A and B are shown apart, each in its own frame.
Chain A
Amino acid sequence: MLRRRIIPCLDVSGGRVVKGVEFVNLRDCGEPIEAALRYAEQGADELCWLNITAGDEAWHELLEQVAGAGTRIDVPLTVGGGISDELHVRDLLSAGADKVSINSAALDRPDLITECAERHGSQCIVVAIDARRTGDTWEAVASGGRRSTGRDAVEWAAEAVARGAGELLVTSMDSDGTQQGYALELYEQLLDEVSVPIIASGGASCPADIADVLQLGVSAALAASIFHDGLHTVEEVKRACRERKLPIR
């Protein structure tokens, strides 16, 4: 039986793991390759590496670090952040990423998803969507939440899948870093709307929050703070999921 995945997320800026609240007020949480190895050792099913620094220098540093991490870890690695071109995807996959996550650039130019999926296969193209609640619906926002798009997040999710996204990484911006639990209603809608795997992100404060969102039916749960702060280990989260009889590796 296919197992639900627990994915620690490394937000990397200037070569260091950082974590903020609602994408601002970043603080340093250590060296990314060491963190990746530590989480893999704890039983992480996959690792997500999000580059949050713009610019050429940061890009080259990212490729080097991904190459370092990619040859040392033995679980899958998803890399995202600032990807705006099919060549970025190719470079990251050659460096050692297993999947690449595209966010704002796909909103600006949806054809990018199709180009990447046709060249590399849907299974390695993740479309990341940052969703902000507006009344009863969610809006897809761009550039780490700084840019409004007016697009409905659930509709955008369906379009991204139609264009070749093999997986969706959906972050509830209202919940991110607040540790108040995942935005369950958002994921319920997405599960009905699309047939690719969904990774839920934003809001985990404890193992039970992760078990809650996995129980809903999402394929994977991503979390950062609760792992970086050393509050909980991946194994503790897995134990909580097993107690709910969820299929866990």
Chain B
Amino acid sequence: MTPVTVVDYGGGNVRSLCAALERSGAVVQVSADPEVVAASERLMLAGQGAAGAAMRALTETGLDEALRDAAARNVPLLGVCVGLQVLYEYSEEDDCAGLGLLHGFVHRIRGAERLPHLGWNDVEPVQQHPLTADLPAVAYFAHSYAVTADIPSALAITRIDEASIASVVARGSVAGAQFHPERSAEAGRQMLRRFLAWDGR
């Protein structure tokens, strides 16, 4: 049973993420307390909503600094959907700065026939990594913004018509999944199990 702290900054899908983590064998603690987050040994940043609102909530509560402190200790951290997007330096959505834990910018997806990118799509590994071990898989996405597939932190990518986006990312102990593991049936359980077993390297 691996302990994990889910950062609660008022985003929507905390409950379903906690339930999915518990199904994958985690002992889950939900916290909005910067001290608890900064001292955690494994963190998840849920995500639903717009990047600007998410960043505002993280900054106003001091959770941004707590996440930076945890990242500086090389604690495994997984951001989901908008939780992935705020790990980067900047998002075109709401023209807002991110946490800057990963290098690169989040853009509105270019080249897709229809946006938002809503539904089940392939997640194809492009780098060998503990977080991509049992890929490819088909997972559930719900977003219009993403980092492009050519970013160095991309571990797995997803194609949407003419667009290619990064769907699993990591650099050091900071990682993200653009899809929703809590809503991706078996593919989601596998992603969460890989994260829970990961030592952050």
Quick check: A124 and B48 within 8 Å, CB to CB?
yes
With A3-B120, A94-B12, A197-B116: A74-B159 Cβ-Cβ less than 8 Å: no
Number of inter-chain CB pairs below 8 Å = 112
Which of A65-73, A105-113, A143-151 is found at the contact surface with chain B? Answer: A65-73
CB-nearest residue of chain B to A89: B12
Quick check: A98 and B116 within 8 Å, CB to CB?
no
Quick check: B144 and A124 within 8 Å, CB to CB?
no
Quick check: B48 and A67 within 8 Å, CB to CB?
no
Kindly list 16 other residue pairs between chains A and B, CB separation below 8 angstroms, not including A67-B15, A121-B49: A1-B122, A4-B119, A45-B119, A72-B19, A74-B185, A75-B184, A76-B140, A94-B15, A95-B15, A96-B16, A98-B16, A98-B142, A98-B180, A120-B12, A121-B50, A219-B114
With a CB–CB cut-off of 8 A, which chain B residues contact A189? Answer: none
With a CB–CB cut-off of 8 A, which chain A residues contact B138? Answer: 3, 249
CB-nearest residue of chain A to B18: A71
With a CB–CB cut-off of 8 A, which chain A residues contact B13? Answer: 93, 96, 98
Interface pairs A-B: 4 shortest CB-CB: A93-B12, A71-B19, A123-B116, A3-B120
A12 to B31, CA, bound (A): 33
Quick check: B49 and A119 within 8 Å, CB to CB?
yes
With A5-B120, A167-B116: A121-B82 Cβ-Cβ less than 8 Å: yes
A-B contacts, 6 listed (Cβ < 8 Å):
A70-B19, A99-B142, A121-B50, A195-B113, A195-B115, A249-B120
A96 to B16, CA, bound (A): 6
With a CB–CB cut-off of 8 A, which chain A residues contact B142? Answer: 76, 98-99, 123-124
Interface residue B188 (Cβ < 8 Å from any Cβ of A): yes
A76 to B140, CA, bound (A): 8
With a CB–CB cut-off of 8 A, which chain A residues contact B12? Answer: 90, 93-94, 97, 120, 124
CB-nearest residue of chain B to A76: B183
With A93-B48, A98-B48, A120-B50: A70-B15 Cβ-Cβ less than 8 Å: yes
Quick check: A118 and B116 within 8 Å, CB to CB?
no
A98 to B19, CA, bound (A): 14
With a CB–CB cut-off of 8 A, which chain A residues contact B122? Answer: 1
